[in-house]
Amino acid sequence: MMDFALTILGVNGAKPAFGRFPTSQFLQIQNHFFLIDCGEGAQMRLSDFGMPASKVDHIFISHLHGDHIFGLPGLLFSFALNDRSKPLHVYSPPGLEQMIMAQLTPGGQLPFAVHFHVIPTDKSVLIFENDALTVSTVPLIHRIPASGFLFREKQFQKNIIGEKISEHQLSIAQIKAVKQGEDILLDNGKTLKNEELTHPDYIPRSYAFASDTMYNEAMIPIINHVDLLYHETTFCEDRKENAVITQHSTAQEAATIARKASVGKLITGHYSSRYKELDIFQDEAASIFGNTVLGLEGKTYKVGRLRKQ
Amino acid sequence: MMDFALTILGVNGAKPAFGRFPTSQFLQIQNHFFLIDCGEGAQMRLSDFGMPASKVDHIFISHLHGDHIFGLPGLLFSFALNDRSKPLHVYSPPGLEQMIMAQLTPGGQLPFAVHFHVIPTDKSVLIFENDALTVSTVPLIHRIPASGFLFREKQFQKNIIGEKISEHQLSIAQIKAVKQGEDILLDNGKTLKNEELTHPDYIPRSYAFASDTMYNEAMIPIINHVDLLYHETTFCEDRKENAVITQHSTAQEAATIARKASVGKLITGHYSSRYKELDIFQDEAASIFGNTVLGLEGKTYKVGRLRKQ
């Protein structure tokens, strides 16, 4: 399973409205599953959209405003009711542990460990790594400390061309070497170049989450060329002064970041409850960055696996 | 507006499942509006069902298990975002204030006062009173301190028969006296009995909420003859041993309480996530107490205003 798929669970800003939930997202990269932010009702949305919540071992929280965290206690308690025993890791700016643990009711000890990791919000640092991907922070500018997240696949192992194995009668050790990118010296003294034996590399895919934040060009070099960028678009041009006051972004500002960072696709979201209809976000962003799609709950945004040419 | 109407916002036990939300209820008595418990997503449900959340000034919390309180922070924050300024009163067993206030994020001061009232869970006491009704506690037996709530209308003011005013040329003072139940001594020495001048009294209506609790006959004299009883029915007969272990009730136990207390109508609820279909709750309860209705989200249960015969 080599999917790279972002499913939006909640896309409204500040509070729920018009059936839209506060922020949360479910991200699958290969066979790894992540939750990004956890607004109230995230566990219902995971269920509504058929996402495998129990597979999530790492939750990334952008900042401690209620609309990004109030779904966390309920999710933890449901994990407990479902007899989860494996540990859970939660990454956030400082203070979350105290807020969450204060809600452990009498006798409400969780049957699994929760590891809270405090992340910096003033610089981009690596905060998670496994065999398939890395996660780094993306500094944001908001009313309280806030951080986005950059998910980036590692280079895939070389994919050997099947026929070459029999053609050259490669040994297990040679096959292993080829997969690691090495050339092969045959007994006859001839060298087989790695690129003759393998398919072109898959291009590692990437996703950046940037919410909540005001317009911040400092993130551009960090998220440069990501395949998918979710950048908050709380307001449109008609209320751009609200964006300044509340330290949020307009659709056009998000699109400007997307354009300057040459991302593959921009996803809008974190819509203010002042907007019932959302098409205007798409229209305004697309006027600056054509490859913009509306962030909608229940919708999954995939990145295909492509080989280098 | 003389409605007496209970709207169920969330009716599932422990965690959300099958699209059912955790416990919360919206109660209108005349022009007073109350929230009972506030499970995760209560604010979405209030909105889904068109209930006037902003009119709620008093919230009654039965106990501090997450499925009854995790919607409270989000509701408070949405009140704040909606510029609420009037105070809010929250009644619960001890400990809620610390849990909720721990979630005030940096700069997250609420623009309205929240008064936390700690209620006893070992006896029935009056905890709220206004011109129209009283609210008393109903001791429950659960794994942690828990209390139900009894909402009872006060006796309505006497309703004077219009024609009697002109017939006897009653003065303002006399009308007021009649409304307060007094007889009238006319100048000619004749006495008009109050019952000749007024319509029969309206019967005060009542609602009792009993969740979460194991079977507890001690509540019977307290809730005796209420018009509506919501009594948790977490399990059916097939899992009655689970009810014992978790200190919940079966449908038949709830119905036994309803029958012994001679209530008007029993509403089931707090269904275990082990049950997808709910008809069995109705069937099992109705086998003991005929006037049982299934508690369902979005459904409103009304009590009409009747006069004494």
pLDDT tens digits, B233-268: 999 999 999 999 999 999 999 999 999 999 999 999
Compute the distance between CA of residue B213 and CA of residue B238 in angstroms, rounded to an integer. Answer: 18
pLDDT tens digits, B32-58: 999 999 999 999 999 999 999 999 999
Compute the distance between CA of residue B10 and CA of residue B164 in angstroms, rounded to an integer. Answer: 48
A110 interfacial to chain B (CB closer than 8 Å): no
Orientation angle between helical segments A279-286 and A251-260, nearest 10 degrees = 40
Please name the residue of chain B whose CA is at the shortest distance from the CA of residue A64. Answer: B105
Specify whether the backbone of A189 is left (phi greater than 0), alpha (psi in -120 to 50) or beta: left
Q: How many CB atoms lie within 10 A of CB B234?
A: 31
Q: What value of ipTM does the predicted structure carry?
A: 0.90
Residue A160 pairs with which residues in a beta bridge?
A198
Compute the distance between CA of residue A63 and CA of residue A61 in angstroms, rounded to an integer. Answer: 6
Nearest to A81 among B14, B19, B98 (CB): B14
Q: Look at A66 and B43 and tell me if their CB atoms are within 8 Å.
A: no
Predicted pLDDT at B106: 56
Minimum distance, in Å, between the CA of residue B103 and any CA atom of chain A? 5
Yes or no: say if B233 and B250 are a contact pair by the CB < 8 Å rule: yes
Nearest to B102 among A67, A98, A143 (CB): A98
B295 contacts: CB under 8 Å, gap ≥ 6: B8, B11, B230, B267, B268, B269
Q: B109 pLDDT exceeds 60? A: yes
Q: Look at A143 and B107 and tell me if their CB atoms are within 8 Å.
A: yes
Q: Look at B99 and A99 and tell me if their CB atoms are within 8 Å.
A: no
Minimum distance, in Å, between the CA of residue A197 and any CA atom of chain B? 51
**Regarding beta strands B265-267 and B292-293, do their DSSP bridges make them parallel or antiparallel, or are they unpaired?**
parallel
Indicate if the alpha-carbon torsion angle A151, A155, A161, A165 is positive or negative: negative
Q: Look at B43 and A40 and tell me if their CB atoms are within 8 Å.
A: yes
Compute the distance between CA of residue A285 and CA of residue A68 in angstroms, rounded to an integer. Answer: 24
What single DSSP character describes residue B103?
T
How many interchain CB pairs under 8 A, A with B? Answer: 109
pLDDT tens digits, B149-183: 999 999 988 999 999 999 999 999 999 999 999 99
Instruction: Provide the token pair at A233.
Output: 């678009």
**Regarding beta strands A265-267 and A228-231, do their DSSP bridges make them parallel or antiparallel, or are they unpaired?**
parallel
Instruction: Provide the token pair at A192.
Output: 């087989």
Q: Select from A9, A63, A78, A273 the residue whose CB has the most chain B CBs within 10 Å, as the one to mutate to test that interface.
A: A78
Residue B47 pairs with which residues in a beta bridge?
none
Compute the distance between CA of residue A150 and CA of residue A152 in angstroms, rounded to an integer. Answer: 6
**Dihedrals phi, psi of B182, to nearest 5 degrees:** -85, 155
Percent of chain A as helix, strand, coil, to the nearest 5: 25, 25, 45
Q: Determine the 3-state secondary structure of B74 from DSSP.
A: helix
Catalytic-role residue among B37, B67, B212, B227 = B67
Residue B212 annotated to the active site: no
Indicate if the alpha-carbon torsion angle B257, B258, B263, B268 is positive or negative: positive
Q: Look at A73 and B66 and tell me if their CB atoms are within 8 Å.
A: yes
pLDDT tens digits, A241-276: 999 999 999 999 999 999 999 999 999 999 999 999
Q: Look at A70 and B47 and tell me if their CB atoms are within 8 Å.
A: no
- Mean pLDDT, rounded, of chain B: 95
Catalytic-role residue among A3, A37, A67, A83 = A67
